[in-house]
Structure 1
Amino acid sequence: MLSVLRLNRSLIYELTKREFSGRYRGSFGGVIWSFAQPLFLLCVYTIAFGLILKTRWGYSGGTADYAFILFSGLIVFNLFSDCLAKSVHLITANPNFVKKIVFPLELLPLVSTLGAVMHSVIAILIWIAGYTIVYGVPHASVLFAPLVLACFFPVLLGIGWLLSAAAVIVRDIGQLTGMISHTLLFLTPIFYSVETAPPPIQNLLVANPLTFVVNQFRAVLFYGSLPDFLGLALYFVGASIFAWLSSLAFAKLRPVFADLV
């Protein structure tokens, strides 16, 4: 798998560029939608939870604090949700790549994940701009945000390889991903902190693999804390093992793609 990725570096670059620019091709707003969509979601969630329900992070802080803490968590979750939603259609939506030309199908999940990461980078820039306007220059710890995303990247890539291959065999997976995404949105400490949940629920939240990444990302962006380097290293190792096993599953199922797509 690594050799395939290394030999197709230029192809990966071109496909990723096309993936990023092609999402809004033909629309009037173009790339502006990459900025508008996260801002729109932030406004909706802030009004609903911060103003109407008057939710406060850990029972303290104001609406502005809550908005920035919420936005930082949404950046991570939206990245995950985007990769989850697109992964199930990567093979089934590209029958020409499967049947008519010799193409390294392993690249499709990678390109899709890289495109999602690029949109997350735009959301981070929006967060930093907003924080600068409201509070001033962000903490230097924001420089560690790419490190947190890098440790999360193998999870996203593994999801792409695993679900894109499995969805060719079991088409119902596409129906389940939406339910999984909505469930994890509320079982991940996006709108609330782990500490405010009842003790039995806290154990469930901590077991959620998204929780650690969300908390680390929020720590370096908003709280100005250094990341848990040991925790990130262990997370990266576990995520890499997951990605490797997913790549093996992809390679195992690939021979049947042409018959089922």
Structure 2
Amino acid sequence: MFKNFWHHRELIKQFTVRDVISRYKGSYLGIFWSFLNPLLMLTVYTFVFSEIFKSKWNTGSGSKMEFALIIFAGLSVFSIFSEVTTRSPSLIVSNSNYVKKVVFPLEILPISILGSSIIHAMISIFILISGVFLFLGEFHWTIIYFPIVTIPLLLYATGLGWFLAAIGVYLRDIGQIVGIAVQALQMLSPIFYPVTSIPDYLKPFYAINPFTYIVEDIRNIFIFGMLPNWTGLGFNTLIGIVVLLIGYYCFQKLRGGFADVI
């Protein structure tokens, strides 16, 4: 699998760049929207949660900007998973011209979407680091763990991307189901609220939610200067590898019928 991706690395790069460029093709601001969108999102969440809902985090500071950055940190990484999973069900169908080309590696299509989402997420992360430094006056060395704590997220996104891309060819309604499921998962993950505010009877569910550990680790390394939860990270990585392999297996198993269905 990895040898195959290394062999097609230039093709993956080209498709990733094409996806990023096509998103803003024809717009006046172009790629600048990649910077503007996260800034606008940060502004909106700051106003809604700090001014309207009067929400506070359990850090004791009461800073509205800190609250906004805490939420923004979780959203920045969740956007990678959200974009890959919501776009994957229609990915093969929307690129049907490649299906009948026997030599074309269809499995790189979800990878290119992942690459595109990572580029946009990195812009948000840059804004997050700048915000923590400018508004909170802090810069934590623990940000070096960012590539490590995102490994489970990338594994989940890639594995589910392959699985949903394959299933989406045969079951076109899966895209609508995935959209609702991703929104539900976002609200059921501690992105907009701390883990300490979760009722005791729901904590077992959050304990098995992989995004609980991912979101908490992102906040810890960027905002609080704390080390990741190594136990949760290790367990999440193992499960992510299983999801990756199952997704790849399902994609290769089902791809034989793509041309007949499309």
Is the TM value for this pair above 0.5?
yes
Aligned to 2:96: 95
Equivalent pairs, count: 261
Q: Return the alpha-carbon distance in structure 1 between the equivalents of residues 102 and 249 of structure 2.
A: 22
Q: Return the alpha-carbon distance in structure 2 between the equivalents of residues 210 and 229 of structure 1.
A: 14
Question: What TM-score do you get using the length of structure 2 for normalisation?
Answer: 0.94
Alignment of 1:1-261 (within 5 A): 1-58=1-58, 60=60, 61-100=62-101, 102-261=103-262
Consecutive aligned runs of 4 or more in structure 1 exceeding 6 Å deviation: none
| Amino acid across the alignment from 1:195 | T
Give the C-alpha shift of residue 212 in structure 1.
1.0
Contact 2:82/2:182, CA 8 A, preserved across alignment: yes
| Amino acid across the alignment from 1:97 | Y
- Runs (5+) with no aligned partner, structure 1: none
| Amino acid across the alignment from 1:20 | V
Contact 1:98/1:105, CA 8 A, preserved across alignment: yes
Question: What TM-score do you get using the length of structure 1 for normalisation?
Answer: 0.95
Q: Return the alpha-carbon distance in structure 2 between the equivalents of residues 132 and 7 of structure 1.
A: 40
Contact 1:195/1:202, CA 8 A, preserved across alignment: no
Contact 1:145/1:220, CA 8 A, preserved across alignment: yes
Give the C-alpha shift of residue 198 in structure 1.
1.2
Give the C-alpha shift of residue 256 in structure 1.
0.6
Q: Return the alpha-carbon distance in structure 1 between the equivalents of residues 155 and 116 of structure 2.
A: 14
Q: Deviations over 1:11-65 (max 9, x none)?
A: 1122222222222122111111111112222222221111111111137432111
Give the C-alpha shift of residue 109 in structure 1.
0.7
Give the C-alpha shift of residue 233 in structure 1.
2.7
Contact 1:58/1:196, CA 8 A, preserved across alignment: no
Give the C-alpha shift of residue 3 in structure 1.
2.8
Q: Deviations over 1:190-220 (max 9, x none)?
A: 1101111211122222222211111111110
Give the C-alpha shift of residue 229 in structure 1.
3.1
| Amino acid across the alignment from 1:162 | F
Q: Deviations over 1:105-140 (max 9, x none)?
A: 010011111110111111000111112211224111
Q: Return the alpha-carbon distance in structure 2 between the equivalents of residues 43 and 58 of structure 1.
A: 21
- Runs (5+) with no aligned partner, structure 2: none
Contact 1:58/1:192, CA 8 A, preserved across alignment: no
Q: Deviations over 1:74-109 (max 9, x none)?
A: 112212111111111110100100024631001001
